């Protein structure tokens, strides 16, 4: 059975939501706070040298450490195009572009911003670094907002009429920095997509288990 290394509210939710959506058998392996707990990092590093989640171990022991690759592979395993538009779908190119934009541009703003001390040796430089990285993150979300509001995207989801795995990323990320209030005010389309995907009943209790406080409020 597949094993997903997971921590509530962290990036593992992106893979967890897809496993739930497809009904693919898996177990969850709890991971400690990777920023606060060295033993949690040490334990995960044995499987994923970057000590990041999602980390997904497939049935044959293959380890996947990249959420976009996991997204594409789970669609193959499920033999469904319900979250990943197939080669002939007109949304395919926009989907792939948004997926890679999320992991190549947006996700690193968390990697670098979460604990600036890992990247900025001088303590006096850290606050400014964090501010700059966060500002870059906001710029990236504004670009996504424009795309989600474009004429090709008329509809409840990022790509318009059909839900895709990109919406799952937004379901998680709109609960992360810069925070729900910012998304509501500055990127209302992204905020609405996040709410809609979290309300979809095919995910079961994934969202409430991952974000109990946020989902309650």
Ligand X SMILES: N[C@@H](CCC(=O)N[C@@H](CS)C(=O)NCC(=O)O)C(=O)O
Q: Please report the beta strands in 44-119, taking only residues with DSSP state E, as ranges in sequence order.
A: 55-57, 63-64
- Which residue in the set 95, 101, 107, 157 belongs to the binding site for ligand X (CB under 6 A)? 107
What's the min distance (Å) between Cβ of 154 and ligand X?
28
In sequence order, what are the residues at sequence separation of 6 or more whose Cβ sits closer than 8 angstroms to the Cβ of residue 66?
A: 103
Among the residue ranges 90-98, 103-111, 192-200, 209-217, the one whose residues contact ligand X (CB under 6 A): 103-111
Contact 69, 133 (CB under 8 A): no
- Asked whether position 62 contacts ligand X by CB under 6 A, the answer is no
Candidate residues 5, 18, 22, 52; the one interacting with ligand X per rule CB under 6 A:
52
CB 90 to ligand X: min, Å: 26
| E-strand stretches of the chain | 2-6, 26-30, 55-57, 63-64
Instruction: Give the binding range for ligand X (CB under 6 A) out of 84-92, 102-110, 144-152, 202-210.
Output: 102-110
Cβ atoms of 153 and 144 within 8 Å: the answer is no
CA angle at residue 209 from 200 to 56, to 5 degrees? 90
Q: How far is the CB of 51 from ligand X (least distance, A)?
A: 5
Number of residues that bind ligand X (CB under 6 A): 13
The answer to whether 34 contacts ligand X (rule: CB under 6 A) is yes
Contact between 53 and ligand X per CB under 6 A: yes
Smallest gap from residue 114 Cβ to ligand X (A): 6
Q: For the chain, how many residues are written?
A: 217
C-alpha span between 96 and 91 (Å, rounded): 9
Question: Least distance from C-beta 204 to ligand X, angstroms?
Answer: 21
CB 132 within 8 A of CB 126: no
- 32 token code pair: 């400690």
Q: Are 109 and 138 in contact (CB under 8 A)?
A: no
54: contact with ligand X by CB under 6 A? yes
Q: How far is the CB of 82 from ligand X (least distance, A)?
A: 21
Q: Which residues bind ligand X (CB under 6 A)?
A: 10-11, 34, 51-54, 66-67, 103, 107, 110-111
């Amino acid at each position: 059975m597949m094993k997903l290394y997971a921590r509530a509210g962290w990036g593992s939710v992106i893979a967890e939501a897809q496993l739930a959506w497809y009904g693919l058998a898996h177990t969850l392996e709890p991971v400690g706070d990777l920023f606060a707990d060295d033993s949690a990092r040490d334990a995960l590093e044995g499987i994923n040298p970057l000590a990041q989640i999602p980390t997904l171990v497939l049935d044959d022991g293959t380890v996947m450490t990249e959420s976009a690759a996991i997204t594409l592979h789970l669609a193959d395993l499920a033999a469904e195009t319900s979250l990943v538009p197939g080669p002939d779908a007109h949304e395919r190119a926009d989907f792939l572009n948004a997926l890679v934009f999320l992991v190549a541009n947006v996700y690193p703003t968390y990697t670098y911003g979460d604990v600036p001390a890992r990247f900025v040796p001088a303590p006096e430089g850290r606050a400014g670094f964090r501010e700059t990285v966060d500002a870059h993150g906001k710029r990236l979300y504004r670009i996504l907002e424009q795309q989600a509001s474009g004429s090709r995207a008329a509809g409840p989801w990022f790509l318009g009429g059909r839900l895709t795995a990109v919406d799952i990323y937004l379901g998680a990320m709109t609960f992360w920095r810069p925070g729900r209030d910012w998304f509501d005010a500055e990127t209302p389309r992204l905020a609405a997509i996040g709410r809609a995907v979290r309300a979809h009943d095919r995910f079961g209790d994934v969202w409430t288990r991952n974000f109990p406080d946020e989902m309650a409020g």
